Protein backbone atom coordinates (compact mmCIF):
# COMPACT_ATOMS: atom_id res chain seq x y z
CA UNK A 1 0.00 0.00 0.00
CA UNK A 2 1.36 3.42 -1.01
CA UNK A 3 0.19 6.14 1.36
CA UNK A 4 0.04 9.79 0.26
CA UNK A 5 -1.31 12.70 2.34
CA UNK A 6 -0.90 16.38 1.42
CA UNK A 7 -3.92 18.47 2.56
CA UNK A 8 -4.46 21.75 0.74
CA UNK A 9 -3.42 24.01 3.61
CA UNK A 10 0.06 22.44 3.63
CA UNK A 11 0.97 23.88 0.24
CA UNK A 12 0.22 27.39 1.52
CA UNK A 13 2.17 26.62 4.69
CA UNK A 14 5.17 25.49 2.64
CA UNK A 15 5.19 28.73 0.68
CA UNK A 16 4.94 30.77 3.88
CA UNK A 17 7.81 28.81 5.42
CA UNK A 18 9.97 29.46 2.35
CA UNK A 19 9.32 33.20 2.71
CA UNK A 20 10.08 33.19 6.45
CA UNK A 21 13.30 31.18 6.03
CA UNK A 22 15.06 34.32 4.81
CA UNK A 23 14.46 35.99 8.17
CA UNK A 24 15.46 33.20 10.55
CA UNK A 25 18.89 32.17 11.82
CA UNK A 26 18.23 28.57 12.75
CA UNK A 27 15.82 25.73 12.01
CA UNK A 28 14.66 23.46 14.81
CA UNK A 29 13.41 20.31 13.12
CA UNK A 30 11.34 18.03 15.33
CA UNK A 31 11.52 14.35 14.36
CA UNK A 32 9.95 11.19 15.74
CA UNK A 33 12.82 9.34 17.45
CA UNK A 34 11.27 6.00 16.47
CA UNK A 35 11.56 6.80 12.73
CA UNK A 36 13.83 9.85 12.42
CA UNK A 37 14.50 9.86 8.70
CA UNK A 38 11.06 8.68 7.64
CA UNK A 39 9.64 11.57 9.69
CA UNK A 40 12.03 14.13 8.16
CA UNK A 41 10.34 16.19 5.45
CA UNK A 42 12.81 16.52 2.52
CA UNK A 43 11.37 19.96 1.71
CA UNK A 44 12.61 21.26 5.08
CA UNK A 45 16.18 20.27 4.26
CA UNK A 46 15.90 21.87 0.82
CA UNK A 47 14.54 25.14 2.19
CA UNK A 48 17.11 25.55 4.94
CA UNK A 49 20.06 24.45 2.80
CA UNK A 50 19.09 26.95 0.11
CA UNK A 51 19.47 29.69 2.76
CA UNK A 52 22.42 27.94 4.44
CA UNK A 53 20.66 27.81 7.80
CA UNK A 54 21.99 25.50 10.54
CA UNK A 55 19.65 22.93 12.01
CA UNK A 56 19.04 21.45 15.44
CA UNK A 57 17.34 18.10 14.96
CA UNK A 58 15.26 17.07 17.94
CA UNK A 59 14.53 13.37 18.20
CA UNK A 60 11.32 13.71 20.16
CA UNK A 61 9.55 10.84 21.92
CA UNK A 62 12.94 9.31 22.65
CA UNK A 63 11.41 7.69 25.72
CA UNK A 64 9.39 5.52 23.29
CA UNK A 65 12.33 4.66 21.01
CA UNK A 66 14.97 1.94 21.20
CA UNK A 67 17.96 3.57 22.99
CA UNK A 68 20.54 1.80 20.80
CA UNK A 69 18.89 3.00 17.60
CA UNK A 70 18.58 6.53 18.96
CA UNK A 71 22.28 6.61 19.83
CA UNK A 72 23.11 5.60 16.26
CA UNK A 73 20.85 8.30 14.82
CA UNK A 74 22.40 11.01 17.00
CA UNK A 75 25.85 10.09 15.71
CA UNK A 76 24.53 9.99 12.14
CA UNK A 77 23.00 13.46 12.25
CA UNK A 78 25.74 15.13 14.27
CA UNK A 79 28.25 14.11 11.58
CA UNK A 80 26.40 16.24 9.02
CA UNK A 81 27.55 19.83 8.31
CA UNK A 82 25.66 22.60 10.13
CA UNK A 83 23.62 20.02 12.03
CA UNK A 84 23.39 19.12 15.69
CA UNK A 85 21.06 16.53 17.18
CA UNK A 86 19.57 15.83 20.57
CA UNK A 87 17.16 13.16 21.84
CA UNK A 88 14.49 14.08 24.37
CA UNK A 89 10.83 14.06 25.26
CA UNK A 90 9.08 17.38 24.71
CA UNK A 91 6.79 16.42 27.60
CA UNK A 92 9.72 16.71 30.05
CA UNK A 93 10.42 20.39 30.82
CA UNK A 94 13.88 19.70 32.27
CA UNK A 95 15.01 18.21 28.96
CA UNK A 96 13.46 20.99 26.88
CA UNK A 97 15.19 23.62 29.04
CA UNK A 98 18.54 22.58 27.55
CA UNK A 99 17.57 23.58 24.01
CA UNK A 100 18.19 27.36 24.03
CA UNK A 101 21.87 26.83 24.88
CA UNK A 102 22.21 24.26 22.09
CA UNK A 103 20.63 26.68 19.63
CA UNK A 104 23.03 29.47 20.60
CA UNK A 105 25.98 27.18 19.86
CA UNK A 106 24.74 26.79 16.28
CA UNK A 107 24.31 30.56 15.80
CA UNK A 108 26.82 32.23 18.16
CA UNK A 109 26.61 35.55 16.31
CA UNK A 110 23.00 35.98 17.49
CA UNK A 111 21.26 35.92 20.85
CA UNK A 112 21.51 39.51 22.11
CA UNK A 113 18.90 42.18 22.72
CA UNK A 114 19.93 43.93 19.50
CA UNK A 115 20.28 40.71 17.52
CA UNK A 116 17.86 38.14 18.91
CA UNK A 117 18.22 34.55 17.79
CA UNK A 118 15.37 33.82 15.37
CA UNK A 119 14.39 30.14 15.34
CA UNK A 120 11.82 28.40 13.18
CA UNK A 121 10.29 25.17 14.53
CA UNK A 122 9.45 22.77 11.72
CA UNK A 123 8.40 19.16 11.31
CA UNK A 124 5.69 16.82 10.12
CA UNK A 125 2.23 16.70 11.73
CA UNK A 126 1.73 15.24 15.19
CA UNK A 127 5.44 14.99 15.96
CA UNK A 128 5.39 17.30 19.00
CA UNK A 129 6.08 20.82 17.72
CA UNK A 130 3.27 22.44 19.70
CA UNK A 131 4.23 20.56 22.85
CA UNK A 132 7.79 21.82 22.37
CA UNK A 133 6.61 25.42 21.94
CA UNK A 134 4.55 25.26 25.11
CA UNK A 135 7.42 23.73 27.09
CA UNK A 136 9.95 26.31 25.87
CA UNK A 137 7.69 29.24 26.70
CA UNK A 138 6.39 27.61 29.90
CA UNK A 139 2.82 28.39 28.98
CA UNK A 140 0.17 27.13 26.60
CA UNK A 141 0.54 29.11 23.39
CA UNK A 142 0.00 26.35 20.85
CA UNK A 143 -2.90 23.95 20.54
CA UNK A 144 -1.90 20.35 21.25
CA UNK A 145 -3.86 17.38 19.96
CA UNK A 146 -3.54 13.66 19.22
CA UNK A 147 -4.55 14.17 15.60
CA UNK A 148 -2.28 15.27 12.75
CA UNK A 149 -2.44 18.83 11.38
CA UNK A 150 -3.80 20.57 14.49
CA UNK A 151 -1.68 23.69 13.82
CA UNK A 152 -2.58 25.35 10.49
CA UNK A 153 -1.01 28.83 10.72
CA UNK A 154 2.37 30.29 11.55
CA UNK A 155 2.90 32.23 14.79
CA UNK A 156 5.81 34.28 16.13
CA UNK A 157 6.57 34.41 19.87
CA UNK A 158 9.28 35.84 22.12
CA UNK A 159 11.45 33.57 24.26
CA UNK A 160 13.00 35.99 26.74
CA UNK A 161 14.69 39.14 25.45
CA UNK A 162 17.09 37.55 23.01
CA UNK A 163 15.22 34.76 21.25
CA UNK A 164 12.27 34.59 18.87
CA UNK A 165 10.33 31.42 18.05
CA UNK A 166 8.37 30.91 14.84
CA UNK A 167 6.02 27.95 15.01
CA UNK A 168 4.89 26.44 11.70
CA UNK A 169 2.10 24.02 10.78
CA UNK A 170 3.02 20.38 10.35
CA UNK A 171 4.28 19.87 6.82
CA UNK A 172 4.10 16.72 4.74
CA UNK A 173 5.47 16.54 1.21
CA UNK A 174 3.54 15.90 -2.02
CA UNK A 175 4.90 12.42 -2.74
CA UNK A 176 6.23 9.82 -0.28
CA UNK A 177 8.70 7.86 -2.40
CA UNK A 178 9.12 4.80 -0.20
CA UNK A 179 5.94 2.84 0.68
CA UNK A 180 7.53 1.72 3.95
CA UNK A 181 7.93 5.38 4.97
CA UNK A 182 4.23 5.97 4.51
CA UNK A 183 3.42 2.91 6.59
CA UNK A 184 5.82 3.94 9.37
CA UNK A 185 4.32 7.43 9.41
CA UNK A 186 0.80 6.02 9.52
CA UNK A 187 1.73 3.61 12.33
CA UNK A 188 3.08 6.54 14.33
CA UNK A 189 -0.09 8.59 13.69
CA UNK A 190 1.54 11.32 11.59
CA UNK A 191 -0.95 10.86 8.74
CA UNK A 192 -4.67 11.55 8.84
CA UNK A 193 -6.80 8.45 9.39
CA UNK A 194 -8.80 9.08 6.21
CA UNK A 195 -5.66 8.47 4.13
CA UNK A 196 -4.84 5.03 5.54
CA UNK A 197 -6.32 1.54 5.90
CA UNK A 198 -5.66 0.76 9.54
CA UNK A 199 -5.61 -3.03 9.11
CA UNK A 200 -2.82 -2.82 6.52
CA UNK A 201 -0.80 -0.43 8.69
CA UNK A 202 -1.18 -2.77 11.67
CA UNK A 203 -0.08 -5.77 9.60
CA UNK A 204 3.03 -3.86 8.50
CA UNK A 205 3.83 -2.90 12.08
CA UNK A 206 3.26 -6.47 13.29
CA UNK A 207 5.70 -7.82 10.72
CA UNK A 208 8.35 -5.30 11.76
CA UNK A 209 7.89 -6.28 15.38
CA UNK A 210 8.12 -9.99 14.56
CA UNK A 211 11.52 -9.41 12.98
CA UNK A 212 13.03 -6.92 15.41
CA UNK A 213 11.10 -7.11 18.71
CA UNK A 214 9.47 -10.56 19.00
CA UNK A 215 10.13 -10.62 22.75
CA UNK A 216 7.95 -7.53 23.22
CA UNK A 217 5.07 -9.17 21.37
CA UNK A 218 5.44 -12.28 23.53
CA UNK A 219 5.49 -10.23 26.71
CA UNK A 220 2.47 -8.11 25.79
CA UNK A 221 0.20 -10.59 24.03
CA UNK A 222 1.69 -14.05 24.60
CA UNK A 223 2.48 -14.27 20.90
CA UNK A 224 3.44 -17.84 19.97
CA UNK A 225 6.84 -18.51 18.35
CA UNK A 226 4.82 -20.26 15.62
CA UNK A 227 3.39 -16.93 14.45
CA UNK A 228 5.17 -16.08 11.21
CA UNK A 229 3.40 -13.05 9.76
CA UNK A 230 1.51 -9.86 10.57
CA UNK A 231 -2.01 -11.29 10.25
CA UNK A 232 -0.97 -14.03 12.66
CA UNK A 233 0.02 -11.42 15.24
CA UNK A 234 -3.32 -9.65 14.84
CA UNK A 235 -5.16 -12.94 15.34
CA UNK A 236 -3.09 -13.66 18.45
CA UNK A 237 -4.04 -10.28 19.92
CA UNK A 238 -7.72 -10.85 19.18
CA UNK A 239 -7.63 -14.26 20.91
CA UNK A 240 -5.60 -13.01 23.88
CA UNK A 241 -7.96 -10.10 24.48
CA UNK A 242 -11.16 -11.98 23.69
CA UNK A 243 -12.09 -9.65 20.84
CA UNK A 244 -15.10 -11.10 19.04
CA UNK A 245 -17.72 -9.73 16.68
CA UNK A 246 -21.36 -10.74 16.73
CA UNK A 247 -21.48 -14.38 15.68
CA UNK A 248 -18.25 -15.33 17.43
CA UNK A 249 -15.61 -14.56 14.79
CA UNK A 250 -12.43 -12.78 15.85
CA UNK A 251 -12.65 -9.00 15.78
CA UNK A 252 -9.46 -8.40 13.80
CA UNK A 253 -10.22 -4.72 13.27
CA UNK A 254 -10.26 -4.07 17.01
CA UNK A 255 -7.10 -6.13 17.47
CA UNK A 256 -5.30 -4.12 14.77
CA UNK A 257 -6.32 -0.89 16.47
CA UNK A 258 -5.06 -2.22 19.82
CA UNK A 259 -1.64 -3.01 18.35
CA UNK A 260 -1.31 0.48 16.89
CA UNK A 261 -2.40 2.15 20.12
CA UNK A 262 -0.01 0.03 22.20
CA UNK A 263 2.86 0.99 19.91
CA UNK A 264 1.98 4.69 19.88
CA UNK A 265 1.57 4.92 23.64
CA UNK A 266 4.70 2.95 24.46
CA UNK A 267 2.74 0.16 26.14
CA UNK A 268 4.57 -2.35 23.95
CA UNK A 269 7.99 -1.08 24.96
CA UNK A 270 10.73 1.05 23.43
CA UNK A 271 10.64 0.45 19.68
CA UNK A 272 12.41 2.01 16.69
CA UNK A 273 11.20 1.25 13.19
CA UNK A 274 14.41 2.25 11.41
CA UNK A 275 18.15 2.66 11.99
CA UNK A 276 20.82 4.45 9.91
CA UNK A 277 21.83 1.02 8.58
CA UNK A 278 18.31 0.01 7.56
CA UNK A 279 17.83 3.43 5.96
CA UNK A 280 21.01 3.07 3.93
CA UNK A 281 19.88 -0.36 2.75
CA UNK A 282 16.49 1.02 1.72
CA UNK A 283 18.04 3.84 -0.31
CA UNK A 284 20.54 1.47 -1.93
CA UNK A 285 17.68 -0.69 -3.17
CA UNK A 286 15.67 2.21 -4.57
CA UNK A 287 16.15 3.80 -8.00
CA UNK A 288 14.23 7.00 -8.74
CA UNK A 289 12.23 6.78 -11.95
CA UNK A 290 11.54 9.94 -14.00
CA UNK A 291 7.87 9.78 -13.00
CA UNK A 292 8.90 9.85 -9.32
CA UNK A 293 10.38 13.34 -9.57
CA UNK A 294 8.94 15.96 -7.25
CA UNK A 295 6.29 18.31 -8.66
CA UNK A 296 7.63 21.42 -10.40
CA UNK A 297 6.53 23.71 -7.56
CA UNK A 298 8.61 21.70 -5.09
CA UNK A 299 11.64 21.66 -7.42
CA UNK A 300 11.47 25.44 -7.58
CA UNK A 301 11.42 25.65 -3.77
CA UNK A 302 14.58 23.56 -3.63
Which pLDDT does position 150 carry in this prediction? Answer: 47
In this structure, the answer to whether residues 153 and 259 fall within a common structural domain is no
Question: What is the model's pLDDT at position 63?
Answer: 97
Q: Are 52 and 199 in contact (CB under 8 A)?
A: no
DSSP 8-state symbol, 235: H
Is residue 153 domain-shared with residue 220, that is, in the same domain?
no
- Residue range 108-119: average pLDDT? 93
Instruction: Give the mean pLDDT of 245-251.
Output: 94
Check pLDDT > 90 for residue 110: yes
List, for residues 254-292, the tens digit of each pLDDT value. Answer: 999 999 999 999 999 999 999 999 999 999 987 655 444
User: How confident is the model over 20-43, as a mean pLDDT?
Assistant: 94
From CA 89, how far away is CA 95, in angstroms rounded? 7
pLDDT attached to residue 149 = 44
CATH of the domain at 225: 1.10.1580.10
Q: Are strands 155-158 and 55-60 parallel, antiparallel or unpaired?
A: unpaired
The CATH number that applies at residue 160 is: 3.40.50.300
Tell me the pLDDT of the chain averaged across its residues: 87
Do 202 and 249 belong to one domain?
A: yes
Q: To the nearest 10°, the Cα dihedral for 230, 236, 241, 243? A: 70
First to last CA, the chain: 28
Overall domain count for the chain: 2
Per-residue pLDDT of 35-93, as tens digits, reads: 999 999 999 999 999 999 999 999 999 999 999 999 999 999 999 999 999 999 999 99
pTM of the model: 0.86
SS3 245: coil
Owning domain of residue 262:
179-271
98 and 15: one domain?
Answer: yes
Inside any domain, residue 41: yes
Q: Are residues 24 and 153 in the same domain?
A: yes
Amino acid sequence: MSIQWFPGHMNAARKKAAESMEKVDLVIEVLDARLPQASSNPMIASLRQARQRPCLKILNKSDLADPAATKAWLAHYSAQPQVSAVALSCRKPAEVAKLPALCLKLAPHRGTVLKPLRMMIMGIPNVGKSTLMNALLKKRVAKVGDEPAVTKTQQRLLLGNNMVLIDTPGLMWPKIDHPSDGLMLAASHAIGVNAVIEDEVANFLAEQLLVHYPQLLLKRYGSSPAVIDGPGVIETIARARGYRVKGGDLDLEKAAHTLLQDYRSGALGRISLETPESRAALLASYVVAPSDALPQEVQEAE
